[in-house]
Amino acid sequence: MANVNLIPLIRRQPIGAIMANKPPLAIYNEIYVSMADLRRQAMPDVDLTANRWLFQHFTETLDRGMLSLLPVMEGSTATAISVNVNVSTLLSPQFQAFHDEFRKKTNKVIVFELQLSDVYSDIGSYLFARDFVRERGYRVCLDGLSPLVFPCVARDRLGFDLEKIVWAPEIERDTPMAQREFLRASIAAAGPSRVILCRCDNDVAIKFGHSVGITLFQGRYVDKLLASAAGAGR
């Protein structure tokens, strides 16, 4: 894996602000490695996600590759960027080397996205890593939340700048009105501009997000809306 060229495998997906009676607006771009393409190129006969802890170790190798590429790629997007990493990566010597190189070139904002399971597996390491990166001008996002889990996470105590709720088709069907109101209150308390609904593949996801006060979205349907708005503006 250390020898795989990641550049052809890197993808970008925007996070967009979508509000009623306003054109969609791209806020920043997430940069990530296409796992499907990586698997086809490197290990076509292996299920990379079969073992959760082995997969996390595998992603730490990917993290190091991404850190080495970010200073090179920073000029390819005019917006802020986000990248999914492990907590251990933020505490590694490779991160300090990345920071020194990246800040020579730009003061562009980077949002480091951390998985819920990774954060809660070692809260102490997370809190140290959070302070370490925020002191250097970066932001932190908690990824992998469900509508049920979101109200249980104290963003103000854990110090996340952003939080991501993962959309799934059954959410619209399985979220009763009382639970939806509780979620809406939790989002309002966290700050609607700090909550992203991701993996939005259709208009149902956007309507649900609006119903609970979310205005930031990510997913294939959002890609289409932003592309259409950009085409109409030409």
Give the pLDDT band of residue 233 (cuts 50, 70, 90): low
Share of the chain above pLDDT 70, in %: 97
pLDDT value at position 50? 81
Q: Which residues of 11-47 are buried (b: 16+ CB within 10 A; e: fewer)?
A: eebbbbbbeeeeebebbbbbbbbeeeebeeeeeeeee
Dihedral angle computed from the Cα positions of residues 125, 35, 101 and 74, in that order, rounded to the nearest 10 degrees: -120
Rg over alpha carbons for the chain, rounded to the nearest Å, is: 18
- Residue 5: Cβ within 10 Å count: 9
How buried is 117 (Cβ within 10 angstroms: 0-12 exposed, 13-18 middle, 19+ buried)? exposed
Question: In the predicted model, is pLDDT for residue 7 greater than 70?
Answer: yes
pLDDT value at position 234? 55
Lowest mean pLDDT among 75-79, 201-205, 218-222: 75-79
Question: In the predicted model, is pLDDT for residue 156 greater than 80?
Answer: no
pTM exceeds 0.85: yes
- Mean pLDDT for the chain? 90
pLDDT value at position 198? 97
Give the pLDDT band of residue 122 (cuts 50, 70, 90): very high
Question: In the predicted model, is pLDDT for residue 194 greater than 60?
Answer: yes
Q: What is the pLDDT of residues 37-80, one digit of tens each?
A: 888 887 788 887 788 777 878 888 889 989 998 988 876 677 78
Q: Mean of the pLDDT values across residues 81-105?
A: 93
**CA angle (98 as vertex; 95, 104 as ends), nearest 5:** 140
pLDDT value at position 5? 83
pLDDT value at position 212? 95
pLDDT value at position 58? 83
Give the pLDDT band of residue 180 (cuts 50, 70, 90): very high
Query: Looking at per-residue confidence, does 26 or 73 come out higher?
Result: 26
- DSSP tag of 231: H
pLDDT value at position 43? 78
Give the pLDDT band of residue 21 (cuts 50, 70, 90): confident
